[in-house]
Chain A
Amino acid sequence: MAVTPWQYGNVPGPKVALTLKGDVAGRIIKAAKKPLIIVGAEALKVKIGEERTLLDYAIELSRLSGAPIVATSHTLKAFLERGFKPAAVMGSVEITDRLRDPSWSIDGSEAHDLVIYLGIAYQLQSQLLSALKNFALHLKTISLDRYYHPNASWSFPNLSFDKWVDNLNMVLEVLSDGVGGKR
């Protein structure tokens, strides 16, 4: 059965994201040569545990995957309060703009091959993913947010909150136990 976009009207065209589960997402991230994580302002609000927000999850994801984090909007302050220093602070449109360029990377060396988005408002994230889908052919993208993003290369399907958290944890399990992937 085809997955419908979270926002019903958000039907972009013939090329839409493949859905995946957390373990597959974990293996894709693990297999990536130079992944990058982009974390938006929603990560400050979304709680995925009693004292754990999506931002805390992003920190864990970064530590396990080795992928640097770009903090967008005003997430930087919360990262620093947790003792975590993102690789850069940029607007979500600024970082996405630069990622179109196959010679650009956050550290100035080889280009990224995978970009992981989380915590950016659905409508905006969808547009950002569309820019990369169409104008950054060298890149793959994953959305780890709770709802299906057709403009990503891969996305979770629309999930209940509990299932989403399960899938997020599956990503971390794969990254931490060395299952699958090359890295």
Chain B
Amino acid sequence: MGEKGPMRFSFKSIKTSGLSLEDVEIAVGRLAIEEEWEPMGPTPMPKIETLRSWDMKLLKRYRPFYMPICDLCCLCTYGKCDLTRGKRGSCGLTLDAQQGRIVMIACAIGAATHASHARELVDLLIERYGEDWPIDLGEEVHVEMPHTRLVVGIKPKTLGDLSYALNYVEEQIVQTLAASHTGQESDYMDFESKSLHLGMLDHVAMEIADVAQIITFGFPRGDPEAPLAEIGLGCVDVSKPLIMCIGHNVTNSIDIIDFMEKSGLGAPGEMIEVAGLCCTAHDTVRYRKSAKVVGPISYQLRFVRSGAADVIVTDEQCIHTSILYEAQRVKAPVISVSNKALRGLEEVSDKPVDEIVNMLVTGKVPGVAILDLEKAAAVAVLTALRIAPLRKKFKVVPNREELVKIASKCVKCGSCRRNCPIDLPVDEAVSAAKNGDLSKLAEIHDLCLGCARCESACMREIPILSLITGAADYKIKTSKFKMRVGRGPIRDTEIREVGSPIVLGEIPGVIALVGCANYPSGGKEVAIMAEEFLRRRYIVVASGCAAMSIAEYRTEEGTTLYEEYSGAFEAGGLVNVGSCVANAHISGACIKIANIFARRNLRANYEEIADYVLNRVGACGIAWGAMSQKAASIATGFNRLGVPVILGPQGAKYRRLYLGRKEDLESFTVYDARTGERVWVGPAPEHLVYVAESREEAMVMAAKLCLRPNDTTKGRMIKLTHYVELHKKFYGTLPPDLHLYIRTEADIPITHKFEIMNYLKKVDWKPWEKPIVDPTLLKRLIRVKK
């Protein structure tokens, strides 16, 4: 840890009595022993300013569009400052810059959270496995860490190398975050450049975190046939003691499973159930598929209140901060294993296991913090075994009779609805329950975010979330599905297979369904979008809560999409890469296409690779329920790499989008690398971050955002077929901007040729003079200058 370097010394000539050398370079530090696997590119370990010119190229085309959620600034004691309608704050800042600043802070929080997660993993794993533990992702993954190679400029070989790469990420996050202090950065475009920098760092941090856990814990290494695991609120056997792990850092879950197996208690599910919520669940089933995934973040409180969990272990990120209170209500002790979330608990890492178990079983304390993970695992298992017979799955979810009685307290003031983040008609549902009609509460169960803000606002103190859970009891019991466990990276062999059809456009695109569970109308929408694109033979990749939501849906055949579609990175494949940190494999696949298929140099060559991805790789993210700061930085990292992202309507609260304007022809010009000419290539992709009102709009836009200037005529025809079909299906007409994407008649979808030809006549379309170019935004890539 803390290793610095490298330091380079250059000498024109060195002469001593016995030696004479010219043009000498001496390097001291880790890179001094780095093999020359590729010439060093132009931007190793980029600083804030290094890639600024690339950012400005993006931001010139995709202008920031700000939607302030608050018109004030209250970050220093000059404030509150009213920045409405052009006013400046006491420090001189304007509202647009303030929006850029807040988004940048969100990205810094997101990147720092993943970097901290990675640091905890790497340090612990070095302690356990040694810093020379090799990075081995199997025979079919040679480009093991594309982000690390691309950004840091090293080819990591050991856990120790990951620590070194992480030093760089941590340093840059600190440097960039400092720009948000009062009286530092003042220009909104520069704040955006810094957000993009943080997003890029975030992907490096995520890659480090996921690779570290894959290589040490034996997770699938890009296996398209990774096993299926059980998921759903009803998938646990409540007759057994149950340990529930919530959060993102899987180490504690793994230690729990190891302790159980070493102690003769068998694998998860044999004598004790081990279940997870949120991303730690993803990673737990990557370790043992017999563990259970309860579901996404939105199920936390409902599951705890159901009383099924006997011990709750929390690590880090996205854990409901009332978890201790909620656990106390059902007499389940909490063990916190992260110093980032100690929850006011006594830290007992130095006490003997038996003593801690006694404290928890007797109820002397509601929970403890244990920062020694192996000890925490022993305490969790032994406590679960002893406390399960005592608490007898004590729950606070009312039965149907009790429910009606509680609901009768409702005066229909509407506070519940007006505090619901997605404006669900909670008041009407509770009111109906008063009269014995529980169907509306049960309907809300499928859409509810599970945040319990409604309860907090209720002046009659009605436990509304418990009513919703109770009313949907019959659904919950049968809520059992199958999810393919996170497979990790995309294999080099797969990239070789699909690189060409993706870049040429013959596979219509890669759709990444990612992000949290802040859905406007339930998780089912994510699955419906996945199914639509799978049927159209896009490559669909998924991660995090979205990957779970896809599992909780049955097709007409009664199976889940994971059972119906292949897990390979191929046309019509559904690839669950894993938890949040596995998002790096999705962006990593785009980088690998540029490197493995197109043979572009990877090492410290960020601009060129991002330019390639933007102009050639038809990928688009859909973060339908994006909620967290991590999601903000992940999306922004995708953007710097040239991958557009569509957010659900709640995403407008991130305050900033990157929108293109197709009528601004100049902004959609590129260099033709063959001639140096500046040529218009159509608005492809049209936006970098976009908010869709509905899933219908998201699907149409996603098909459009997979268009790239480099598409071949066959590829463009295939992509336009899907764009046209989706537009006709949901909008009823041909797309009104279709002519902007048809370069020659050969681009026209055959199935709609007659209709489109008529349309083209009406808009006076002419074939392009230069239909296919070698597109780039980088002048230095022009091969022949005129």
Contacts and interface: CB of A to CB of B under 8 A. Distances in A.
- Whether A associates with B in a native complex is yes
Given A14-B71, A15-B84, A97-B661, A40 B653 contact: no
B84 A13 contact: yes
Interface stretch (B167-175, B284-292, B353-361, B727-735): B727-735
B653 A127 contact: yes
A91 B692 CA distance: 7
A41 B694 contact: yes
Interface in A64-90: 72-74, 76-77, 80-81, 88-89
B690 A13 contact: no
A75 B62 CA distance: 26
Interface string B228-261: 0000000000000000000000000000000000
A124 B691 contact: yes
B691 A7 contact: no
16 contacts: A8-B415, A8-B418, A8-B419, A12-B70, A14-B71, A15-B85, A73-B692, A74-B697, A76-B733, A77-B733, A91-B691, A91-B697, A123-B653, A124-B649, A124-B650, A135-B96
Contact of A128 (B84, B86, B415, B652): B652
Given A41-B694, A127-B69, A131-B67, A121 B649 contact: yes
B82 interface: yes
Given A6-B418, A74-B731, A15 B693 contact: no
A130 B659 contact: no
B271 interface: no
B732 A134 contact: no
A74 B694 contact: yes
A9 B419 contact: yes
A137 B736 CA distance: 30
A44 B204 CA distance: 43
Contact of B652 (A80, A94, A127): A127
Contacts of A76: 731-733
Interface string B713-745: 000000000000000001111001000000000
Contact of A73 (B82, B83, B696): B696
Contacts of B649: 121, 123-124
B71 A13 contact: yes
Contacts of A73: 692-694, 696-697
Interface string B372-406: 00000000000000000000000000000000000
B265 interface: no
A13 B72 contact: yes
A124 B70 contact: no
B71 A15 contact: yes
A124 B651 CA distance: 8
Interface residues of B, number: 46
B66 interface: yes
B423 A122 contact: yes
B654 to A, nearest CB: 9
Contacts of B653: 123, 127
Contact of B693 (A9, A12, A40): A40
Contacts of A13: 70-72, 82-84
Contacts of B657: 93, 97
A120 B669 CA distance: 34
B529 interface: no
A88 B737 CA distance: 11
Contact of A91 (B84, B650, B701, B730): B701
Contacts of B67: 127-128, 130-131
Nearest to B415: A8
Contact of A72 (B650, B661, B693): B693
State which size class the interface on A falls in.
35 or more
A92 interface: yes
A3 B692 CA distance: 29
Contacts of A134: 66, 68, 71, 83-86, 95
B418 A120 contact: no
B520 interface: yes
B97 interface: no
A133 interface: yes
Given A128-B67, A130-B68, A41 B693 contact: yes
B760 interface: no
B447 interface: no
A124 B518 CA distance: 14
B365 interface: no
A8 B456 CA distance: 13
Given A73-B697, A76-B732, A137 B86 contact: yes
Interface string B651-667: 01101010101000000
Contacts of B679: none
Contacts of B731: 74, 76-77, 89
A52 interface: no
Q: Considering the complex of A and B, which 8 residue pairs feature the smallest CB-CB distances, nearest first?
A: A13-B71, A77-B732, A127-B652, A127-B67, A74-B696, A73-B693, A124-B649, A73-B697
B376 to A, nearest CB: 36
B659 A12 contact: no
Interface in A32-51: 40-41
B534 interface: no
B65 interface: yes
B457 interface: yes
Contacts of A72: 693, 697
Interface in B417-444: 418-419, 421-423
Contact of B732 (A81, A98, A127, A133): A81
Nearest to B457: A8
Nearest to A132: B67
A1 to B, nearest CB: 16
A143 B71 CA distance: 19
Contacts of B421: 123
Given A14-B71, A121-B649, A92 B693 contact: yes
Nearest to A42: B693
Contacts of B71: 12-15, 130, 134
A13 B457 CA distance: 22
A138 to B, nearest CB: 11
Interface in B683-722: 690-694, 696-697, 700-701
B412 to A, nearest CB: 12
A81 B653 CA distance: 33
A97 B72 contact: no
Contacts of A40: 693
Given A77-B732, A123-B421, A130-B69, 11 more contacts: A6-B418, A13-B84, A74-B700, A81-B732, A91-B691, A93-B690, A93-B691, A96-B65, A97-B661, A120-B693, A121-B649
Interface string A88-119: 11011110111010000000000000000000
Contact of A123 (B63, B82, B418, B652): B652
A130 B95 CA distance: 11
A51 B253 CA distance: 55
- Which of A73, A77, A133 gathers the greatest number of chain B CB atoms within 10 Å? A73
B65 A131 contact: yes
A98 B69 CA distance: 19
A89 B730 CA distance: 12
Contacts of A123: 421-423, 649-650, 652-653
Contacts of B691: 91-93, 124
A12 B652 contact: no
Contacts of B86: 134, 137
A52 to B, nearest CB: 20
Contacts of B419: 7-9
Contacts of A91: 690-693, 697, 701
Contacts of A93: 65, 652, 657, 659, 690-691
Interface string B35-60: 00000000000000000000000000
Contacts of B95: 134-135
A7 B419 CA distance: 6
Interface in A122-158: 122-124, 127-128, 130-131, 133-135, 137
Contacts of A41: 693-694, 696-697
Contacts of B418: 6-8
